[in-house]
Amino acid sequence: MGNCVSKGTDSVLATESFEAKYVVGDATLLALSILFRELQALPQPFDSMLQLPFGAVQDGMYHEELVLVTQMYRGNTPRCNDAMEDFVRVLKLYANIQHPNIVRLIGASWDVPHFICMVTERPERGDLATLLFNYGEDIAPTLRVNMMLDIAKAMAHLHSRKHPLLHRDLKGSNIYINAKYRAKITHFESSGEYASHFSVLDLPAWTAPETICGHHVQIKVMSTASQWVNTISSTHIIIKIVMDELMNCQAPYAEIPEGRKQRELVNLIACDGYRPSIINPHVWPDDLLELVETCWRQDPRYRPTFASIKTSLEHVLQNMVDI
Between CA 179 and CA 168 the distance in angstroms is 26
Does the predicted TM-score (pTM) go above 0.75? Answer: yes
Instruction: Assess contact for 171 and 129: CB atoms under 8 A.
Output: yes
In this prediction, residues 221-227 reach a mean pLDDT of: 36
From residue 234, alpha-carbon distances to 114, 167, 240, 299, 306 in Å are 39, 11, 11, 10, 11
Ranking 113-117, 188-192, 198-202, 264-268 by mean pLDDT, the lowest is 198-202
pLDDT > 90: what percent of the chain? 32
What is 9-121's CATH number? 3.30.200.20
For residue 215, pLDDT over 90 is answered with no
Q: Point out which residues pair with 105 in neighbouring strands.
A: 120
Average pLDDT on 41-46 reads: 53
The beta strand positions in the chain, using DSSP E, are 39-40, 56-62, 65-73, 105-109, 115-121, 165-166, 175-177, 183-185, 192-193, 218-222, 228-232
Instruction: Please report the pLDDT score of residue 321 as a whole number.
Output: 64
Q: Could you read off the pLDDT of 132-185 as tens digits, one per residue?
A: 999 999 999 999 999 999 999 998 888 887 777 777 678 888 899 999 999 999
Average pLDDT, the chain: 76
Residues of the chain with CATH 3.30.200.20: 9-121
Q: Give the pLDDT of residue 227.
A: 33
Start-end ranges of CATH 1.10.510.10 in the chain?
A: 128-319
Entry field: residues in the chain: 323
The string of pLDDT tens digits covering residues 253-299 is 777 776 665 667 777 766 677 777 899 999 999 999 999 988 877 77
> Higher-confidence residue: 293 or 220?
293
> What is the share, in percent, of the chain residues with pLDDT greater than 70?
69
CATH architecture for the domain at 128-319: Orthogonal Bundle (1.10)
Q: What are phi and psi of 58, to 5 degrees?
A: -145, 160
> CA 286, CA 300: separation in Å to the nearest integer?
22
Rounded mean pLDDT, 48-59:
58
- Rg, Å, the chain Cα set: 20
